[in-house]
Structure 1
């Protein structure tokens, strides 16, 4: 596209508008895109002024819990801890299957996941299903033995030790 707006690029690339906005701002900082001002449609217009050798880094701090939660939200219907560990591991954050298993068990106790198929050690892992997707931020366990959900700004109590 010779010239584009946030919405035009979003529609053309099939990317959410919020993500497109972050990408374009990163390209502007990197000097690959320049702002042309508002066009007749009153939309802010841009144009590519040079191509980049590497895409600009997106300013998102990765955490193990955040990566696992995003993987669960993407896989939503059926996944094992090994699936979550594989989908959530990046160059920055390494996640072991045992860590994913612990995170899944915590979310089951809090009511975010449901066991779709019980484990039969050592032959097969449990399969989980996401039943309470409250938004993009991962629920977090707090010291008070509760899970804090940043999306709802509320605690969900964890019953006593259950394995």
Structure 2
């Protein structure tokens, strides 16, 4: 649209709420749940929950209220930028995502031989308080994945870590994932960069980010189990659950497949 100021977009693999948020910013004067569903590819129920949180936080507001939840029209009243607002169901800010962001930013900025205490002190900002244990776990995982060079200095001297220049891939922190083994996903490169089949005792086992696709699959399985447990006779399959399962099982490139 002529005269409209362009806004930044997050690149790489995106969370469902990030896709919703970008659609909200694009359709800011007026949008419904169905509008966001069509543009973002996300499920109306998930969008409705995010709308409730955004409304409680004063970020969007209801401007038209015809019959039917999907027909309600909202407007964006507080544009917070490219990154989607992290909110709980009460509309309160959450800061858990900042832990790895702060550690990664510290490693990139200080860019030297750093101890766990160095990083924990510098990265404890923006509502996040990091313990040395949390920092050590994340940095050990990055060292195992080849992002950091770790120097062990003995019992009485702290180990040091240095970010390898070739592994300074961008501003977004590598995500630590674990299924049967340690995995590291780099959102700057949009790919899984490390997978260890055996794992090590020093690798991260607490800052685990299982990935959006895995979380969706778990939720779907929980709904199917609940359906089976609550029915003693023949089961009538809900159309919405069946449709969402088909979308989840669709491979990339198939019609309606979720990326």
Same fold, TM exceeding 0.5?
A: yes
SS in structure 2 opposite 1:142? Answer: strand
CA distance, structure 2, for counterparts of residue 161 and residue 148 of structure 1: 15
Q: Which has the larger radius of gyration?
A: 2
Aligned residue runs from structure 1 range 2-151, under 5 A = 63-90=98-125, 92-115=127-150, 117-121=151-155, 123-131=156-164, 132-144=167-179, 145-151=182-188
Contact between 1:113 and 1:129, CA under 8 Å: does it hold in 2? yes
Does 149-158 or 131-140 show the bigger shift? 149-158
CA distance, structure 1, for counterparts of residue 133 and residue 153 of structure 2: 14
Contact between 1:109 and 1:158, CA under 8 Å: does it hold in 2? no
What are structure 1's unaligned runs of at least 5 residues? 1-17, 19-57
What are structure 2's unaligned runs of at least 5 residues? 1-7, 9-79, 87-94, 203-259
Alpha-carbon offset, residue 91 of structure 1: 5.0
Name 1:158's counterpart in structure 2.
195
Q: Which structure's residues are more often strand, by fraction?
A: 1
Runs ≥4 residues deviating over 4 A: 58-62
SS in structure 2 opposite 1:104? Answer: helix
Q: Please report the RMSD computed on the Cα atoms of aligned residues, expressed in angstroms.
A: 2.0
Structure number with the bigger relative contact order (C-alpha 8 A, sep ≥ 6) is 1
Q: Which structure's residues are more often helix, by fraction?
A: 2
Q: In the TM superposition, what whole-angstrom CA distance separates every residue of 1:34-87 from its partner, at most 9, and x where no partner exists? A: xxxxxxxxxxxxxxxxxxxxxxxx867651000000000011121111111001
CA distance, structure 1, for counterparts of residue 119 and residue 172 of structure 2: 16
**TM-score (norm: length of structure 2):** 0.38
**TM-score (norm: length of structure 1):** 0.59
